Amino acid sequence: MEVMLMSSKIKITALFAATVLIVSSAGCKHDSGKEESSVPAVSDNSGSSQSTEEVLPENQRVTEKFEDTKLGKYVWGDEFNTDTLDLSKWIIESHSSSGRDKLTFEQGDENLSKVFKIQNGAASLIFQRWYDQTNTLIQYAGPAELMTRPTMSWQYGYLEVRLRMSFRKDGNAIWMASGDALNSNKDAYCGLEVDVFETLASTDSVTPNIHLWYKDGRHTDMNGYVYNGKPIKYTFANSYNLAKEFHVYGFEWTPSEMAMYVDGEKYWTLDTTKSFDDDPDISVYNQPIYLMLATGAFTPLNTWHTYAGDEIDNTSLPLDYSVDYVRLYQDSSVKGTQLNIAK
Q: What is the pLDDT of residue 98?
A: 66
Given a cut of 80, is residue 165 above it in pLDDT? yes
Has residue 185 got a pLDDT over 90? yes
Q: pLDDT value at position 25? A: 41
Tell me if residue 131 falls in helix, strand or coil: coil
- What's this model's pTM, rounded to 2 decimal places? 0.84
What DSSP designation does 41 have?
A: P
Q: Among 102, 123, 125, 99, which Cα is nearest to 114's?
A: 125
| Residue (of 213, 281, 253) closest to 338 by Cα position | 253
Q: What is the pLDDT of residue 125?
A: 98
Among 42-56, 181-195, 319-333, the minimum mean pLDDT is found in 42-56
Amino acid identity, residue 208? P
Which pLDDT score, from 0 to 100, does residue 102 have? 94
Q: Taking 60 as the threshold, does the pLDDT of residue 146 lie above it?
A: yes
Lowest mean pLDDT among 63-77, 190-204, 315-329: 63-77
- Pick the more confident residue, 18 or 75: 75
Task: Answer positive or negative: Cα dihedral of 65, 66, 67, 72.
Answer: positive
In angstroms, the Cα distances linking 274 to 154, 229, 231, 281, 334 are 21, 21, 19, 8, 19
Query: Alpha carbon 328 to chain centroid distance?
Result: 13
Tens digits of residue pLDDT in 45-103: 333 444 455 789 999 999 988 988 778 999 999 999 999 999 999 999 998 766 789 99
Q: How far apart are CA 297 and CA 191, in angstroms?
A: 25
So what's the pLDDT on residue 71? Answer: 86
Q: How many CA atoms lie within 13 A of 225 on its CB side?
A: 15
For 107-141, write each residue's pLDDT tens digit.
Answer: 999 999 999 999 999 999 999 999 999 999 999 99
Question: Can you tell me the mean pLDDT for 155-162?
Answer: 98
Query: What one-character DSSP code corresponds to residue 282?
Result: G
Mean per-residue pLDDT of the chain: 86
Distance CA 292, CA 283 (A): 22
Cα–Cα distance, 69 to 66 (Å, whole number): 9
pLDDT surpassing 70 at residue 22: no
Could you report how far apart the first and last alpha carbons of the chain are, in Å? 82
The answer, yes or no, to whether residue 319 has pLDDT greater than 80, is yes
CA nearest to 118, candidates 64, 57, 186, 39: 39
DSSP-assigned letters across all residues of 61-78: S-------BTTBEEEEEE
The pLDDT of residue 47: 38
pLDDT at res. 53: 59
Contacting residues for 101 by C-beta, under 8 A, at least 6 apart: 137, 138, 139, 140, 299, 300, 301
**33 or 252: which leads in pLDDT:** 252
Confidence of residue 235 (pLDDT cuts 50, 70, 90): very high
Pairing of strands 102-105, 140-143: parallel
What does the pLDDT look like over 257-311, one tens digit per residue?
A: 999 999 999 999 999 999 999 899 999 999 999 999 999 999 999 888 888 899 9
SS3 314: helix
- pLDDT, one tens digit per residue, over 217-228 is 999 999 877 877
Q: Residue 34's pLDDT band (boundaries 50, 70, 90)?
A: low
Between CA 320 and CA 113 the distance in angstroms is 14
Residue 77 CA to residue 341 CA, distance in Å, equals 12
